Amino acid sequence: MKLNIGICHTKIDKTCMRIYNISFNSWKNMGDKPKIISFPKLPYNKNNIDKIKEEIFTKLSKINIIVQVGEYGPEKHIHKKSTAMRMLTQQYAQQHNIPRIIIDVGFIRCNKKKYLSIGVDNFKRYAKFYNKNSSPDRWNSFNLKIQPWRKDGNRILILGQRFCGYTLRIDKINIHKWYNNVFEQLSTITNKSLYFKHHPSKERGKFESKQYKFIDSKLSLLECLKDVWCVVAYATNATIESVINGVPAITLSKRNMVYDLAGHSLKDINNLPILDRTQWCNDLGYTQWSLDEISQGLPWQHLRPHIIKDYL
């Protein structure tokens, strides 16, 4: 069985898609040179959107599976080519029940390797990873140890979020206002010191405050967790490393991967959930894959039977 796989290289070329005709059983050999779906040459403006959409949908009509890097959020920037290809691809897939395999940053660092998360039709906790009640084999291969839950600590650490991240855009969160609200609420219900750690990405919109105590951004997260009672975050993946290392978390976003282990209100700060993380870690093992594993086709072997059942 052969499939037409559309690879949406929007992080490299925002205006085209490459179509590979490959064997259903393996993605190791892409075979012949791909066909290219180029963005229509019409000027991209409000007057031409319908024509462009029709032309792209026609070109996508023979595709069985779409692979893309990163997710598209419903923004006001519909007039920008930089988001148009992913936006229209997402619309087509949803209307025609075409699976989208979405590749994003990995959730945890381990084995000195780069890992990428690979799920279907969404990302983070809303992705279909087909990983419920997974075996511990992949988690064990990460060579990470679940540390005992911490029972003391004099600090609360607020973890910074990417200023322009997808989650903030789709949830319409003003993250700087959110940081300030967190400080105001926590300062009324706890005497613990409130520290802030910036997200490691270098981007505009860096948060500044005279209220928080800031941690040196050059320090690793593990170093920052010393004497920390709890971390508070919106949706950043740093909460994953925190709970694995025994530091409880409060997260206000259901997209956060630790949502099922965390508190969901700042009022939980003095009564933090302490849950068994064993199965959660086993399931996490089937959400991310190393570059070597990807080149061997292992994520596809995992996802393939589920995509057959749900889509093909």
pLDDT in tens, 2-37: 788 888 765 556 566 777 776 666 655 555 566 666
Domain presence at residue 135? no
> Using CA atoms, how far apart are residues 229 and 246, in angstroms rounded to an integer?
10
CB-facing half-sphere around the CA of 106: CA atoms within 13 A: 18
Domain presence at residue 73? yes
Q: Do 74 and 172 have their domain in common?
A: no
pTM of the model: 0.89
Domain presence at residue 283? no
- Number of neighbouring beta carbons within 10 Å of residue 120: 19
Domain presence at residue 141? no
Q: Do 261 and 292 have their domain in common?
A: no
> Using CA atoms, how far apart are residues 143 and 110, in angstroms rounded to an integer?
7
Q: Would you give per-residue pLDDT tens digits along the chain (312 residues)?
A: 678 888 876 555 656 677 777 666 665 555 556 666 676 777 777 778 788 888 888 888 888 999 888 877 655 545 566 567 777 888 889 899 999 999 999 999 998 999 999 999 998 999 999 999 999 999 999 999 999 999 999 999 999 988 777 788 888 889 999 999 999 999 999 999 999 998 887 555 678 888 899 998 789 999 999 999 999 999 999 999 999 999 999 999 999 999 999 999 999 999 999 999 999 999 999 999 999 999 888 999 999 999 989 998
**Total domains present in the chain:** 2
Q: Do 48 and 76 have their domain in common?
A: yes
For residue 307, CA distances in Å to 101, 115, 214 come to 10, 22, 45
Do 84 and 78 touch, CB atoms closer than 8 A? yes
Domain of residue 36, residue span: 2-130+288-310
Q: Do 241 and 165 have their domain in common?
A: yes
Q: What is the residue whose two structure tokens read 């796989």?
A: 5
> Using CA atoms, how far apart are residues 138 and 285, in angstroms rounded to an integer?
5
Residue 11 contacts by C-beta under 8 Å, 6 or more apart in sequence?
A: 69, 70
Q: Do 20 and 77 have their domain in common?
A: yes
Domain presence at residue 123? yes
Angle subtended at Cα 272 by Cα 280 and Cα 117, rounded to the nearest 5 degrees: 30
Q: Do 7 and 65 have their domain in common?
A: yes
pLDDT of residue 85: 74
Backbone φ, ψ for residue 170 (5° rounding) = -75, -30
